[in-house]
Structure 1
């Protein structure tokens, strides 16, 4: 069995909980996530860090789902939002999504929101948190 060079290499055994073996065991499994190579992951992280508008962030969310099957939700947290840590960023459970990637994507979004606070304000406004401000 030869592996496609455009697919992500497997994580070291025991270090990751990505459940990649579930993708190969089920013939109808969504294998789009395996297209996210380490180089493509770096490009994605860079794009998330350099987001300039809420529309651009939402477009990246849509592209992540269409091309990789990654569902990401971004919303204000349940408590008061005093910093970017108060914004909840969740990735849906997905076989094949590496543990490091699950941590790197939300961190990149937070860095992007810190660099461009107008995007965070747009996100808060979209959830009616700044309607009276």
Structure 2
């Protein structure tokens, strides 16, 4: 099957990750790559997110998540006024094999990172031209 430790299955009816369907399809490479994100690797990823201190590091994280696991992380200001980090829409796009808890834990870690480093939040706002070139 796989030459790496894959994520254990979630309790029935508590998760919508469709892990069984993904394993049943027998996809190779990118399809099964998401299963590499087992609990140990998820903890390492969350610890890494906690060490992010610059906007460039955050963009590199987004790129690496997509390249290595096929996971798309989206960070954008909400359509309304952004007054705090709660005003950002941070989400992992749903895909087979991506656990519900993981889809909540990674955005929460990114939100904590933005709260600790407001300069990253300002860079995101600037990238989306919400500061109007101020």
TM-score of the pair, normalised by structure 2: 0.91
Shift of 1:4: 5.6
Counterpart position of 2:84 = 83
Secondary structure at the counterpart of residue 95 of structure 1: coil
CA distance in 2, matches of 1:3, 1:63: 21
Q: Does 1:118 align with 2:91?
A: no
In the TM superposition, 1:13-52 aligns within 5 A as 13-28=12-27, 30-52=31-53
Question: Per the alignment, do residues 15 and 81 of structure 1 end up closer, same or farther by CA in structure 2, a change over 3 Å counting?
Answer: same
Q: Residue 131 of structure 2 aligns with which residue?
A: 130
| 1:101 match | 102
Q: Secondary structure at the match of 1:31?
A: helix
Coordinate RMSD, CA, aligned = 1.7
Question: Which runs of 5 or more structure 1 residues have no equivalent in the other structure?
Answer: none
- Off by >6 Å, runs of 4+ in structure 1: none
Q: Which runs of 5+ in 2 are unaligned?
A: none
- Judging changes above 3 Å, is the alpha-carbon distance between structure 1 residues 46 and 82 closer, same or farther for their aligned structure 2 residues? same
- How many correspondences in the alignment? 132
Residue 130 of structure 1 and its aligned partner are, at CA, apart by: 1.6
